[in-house]
């Protein structure tokens, strides 16, 4: 999907070659962001920080959902 390609392109520009977001995570990102690029970036960044904190190599749909809750907690 477009979110998956967007993330791959963005991460490749940052020097990352392997996929970090699995397919269910990309699907959840699309659903929660409604495809709005700024919101995709916000959710993806928050999910990446959560993954790093949990020492995870990949971002899954649960981490994306947690990021969504964190961003909407205020």
Q: What is the CATH number of the domain that holds 37?
A: 1.10.8.60
Structurally, how many domains does the chain consist of? 1
Residue with the two structure tokens 């690029």:
37
Q: What is the pLDDT of residues 16-74, one digit of tens each?
A: 989 999 999 999 999 999 999 999 999 999 999 999 999 999 999 999 999 999 999 86
Please tell me the predicted confidence (pLDDT) of residue 43.
Answer: 96
CA quadruple 59, 65, 68, 70: dihedral, nearest 10: -90
> What predicted TM-score, i.e. pTM, was given to this entire model?
0.89
26-50 as b/e: b if 16+ CB within 10 A = bbbbbebbeeeeeebeebbebbbeb
| pLDDT confidence of residue 9 | 93
Question: Domain range spanning residue 23?
Answer: 2-71
């Amino acid at each position: 999907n477009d979110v998956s390609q967007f993330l791959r392109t963005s991460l490749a520009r940052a020097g990352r070659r392997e996929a970090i977001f699995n397919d269910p995570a990309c699907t959840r990102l699309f659903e929660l962001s409604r495809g709005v690029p700024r919101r995709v970036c916000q959710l993806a960044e928050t999910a990446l920080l959560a993954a790093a904190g949990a020492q995870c190599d990949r971002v899954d749909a649960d981490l994306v959902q947690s990021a969504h809750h964190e961003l909407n907690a205020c």
